[in-house]
Amino acid sequence: MGVSERKFFGILDMIKRVSNNAPWSRILSTFRFGLTKLNTVDQIEQMVQKIRPVELVQGTANQLYTKAIHAIDNADDYDTLKRVRVDYLEKLNQIARNEQARPLIVGITGEFYVVLEPFSSFDIERELGKLGVEVRRATFISGWTKFSLFLNPFGINEKSRIHKAARPYLKRDIGGDGWESVGEKVLHAREYDGLIHLAPFTCMPEIIAENIMPSTREQIPVLTILCDEQIAKAGVLTRLEAFVDLLERKRRARRDRQGVSV
């Protein structure tokens, strides 16, 4: 049985081998500290995603985020890491912002690697922030790590709610993250103005999800972007701008129908 099948224990065995047989107490302590760092990164990133579309000086949140990542990387104990988290969350909270802004909310879902790795999508989340969009990403690295290493921790499947939402349209796991992609649309249709679906070119589970999404009762706009070596930043930006324009028009139309501010 390989490392991936054994999940948590497979990873620990691998660390044991590459660490020149370090004591288990040290391995477990270091592993736990690493997970705490991942949680800290994700907490700060979620705050950055909320601030990007409303900050008065564009790029301020990104600059603080870069500094925060460096500080987290250099933190070598829990007290230092806690100070870094509190300090940078406070700095982010103090960024001057447009209090009147009501940014569009766009979810990001799809295959976990292209969702989590900014290089593969030309840092689509930052680009959406520049366009005044608040991003709600389906997967963060700490959550994905916990789910991948601890299958059904304490008997609770972290993705069961998403799978249940997808079942009217997709009855079972089709591999990869296709089941989750459909479930994310169904589950958050009333919260999001739109959804961006990221997939590697030829990824079969995401192709299946892409073809199911237009058939759901939950009719929010979905933009699918296939990421491969042929993708170009100019093309991605053009599609994002057009998608955001579509969402803004839909919001204005909804506001006009309701006769209230949306």
> Where do the domains of the chain lie?
1-99, 102-262
Q: What is the pLDDT of residue 44?
A: 96
Considering only CA atoms, which of 185, 198, 195, 194 is closest in space to residue 225? 198
The type of residue at 133 is V
Measured CA to CA, the distance from residue 51 to residue 91 in angstroms comes to 11
Alpha helices in 77-140 (DSSP H): 78-93, 112-116, 124-130
Look at residue 231 and give its three-state secondary structure.
coil
Give the per-residue pLDDT at 155: 42
Give Cα separations from 246 to 79, 104, 242 (angstroms). Answer: 46, 11, 6
**pLDDT tens digits, 153-197:** 444 465 788 889 999 999 988 888 899 999 999 999 999 999 999
Query: What confidence score (pLDDT) does residue 261 get?
Result: 52
For residue 105, give both structure tokens.
């909310």
Residue with tokens 């933190």: 75
Span 212-244, pLDDT tens digits:
999 899 889 999 999 988 889 999 999 999 999
**pLDDT tens digits, residue range 96-148?**
999 999 999 999 999 999 999 999 999 999 999 999 999 999 888 887 777 66
Q: Could you tell me if 11 and 30 are in contact, meaning their C-beta atoms sit under 8 angstroms apart?
A: no
The sheet with strand 104-110 has its strands ordered as 133-137, 104-110, 194-200, 222-227
**What is the tens place of the pLDDT at every residue in 56-91?**
999 999 999 999 999 999 999 999 999 999 999 999
The whole-number pLDDT of residue 1 equals: 47
List, for residues 20-29, the tens digit of each pLDDT value: 778 888 888 8
Instruction: Enter the pTM of the model.
Output: 0.86
H or E element: which one contains 98? Answer: none
Q: 102-262: what fold?
A: Rossmann fold (3.40.50)
Helix (H, G, I), strand (E, B) or coil at 262: coil
**Which tokens is 102 given?**
């009501």
Residue 2 confidence class, pLDDT cut points 50, 70, 90: very low
pLDDT band at 7 (very low <50, low <70, confident <90, very high): low
Query: If you ran DSSP here, which 8-state letter would residue 159 be given?
Result: T
Residue 200 has pLDDT above 60, yes or no: yes
What is the spatial distance between Cα 162 and Cα 179, in angstroms, rounded to a whole number?
A: 8
**pLDDT of 157:** 61
Q: How far apart are CA 178 and CA 209, in angstroms?
A: 5
Please report the pLDDT score of residue 10 as a whole number: 72
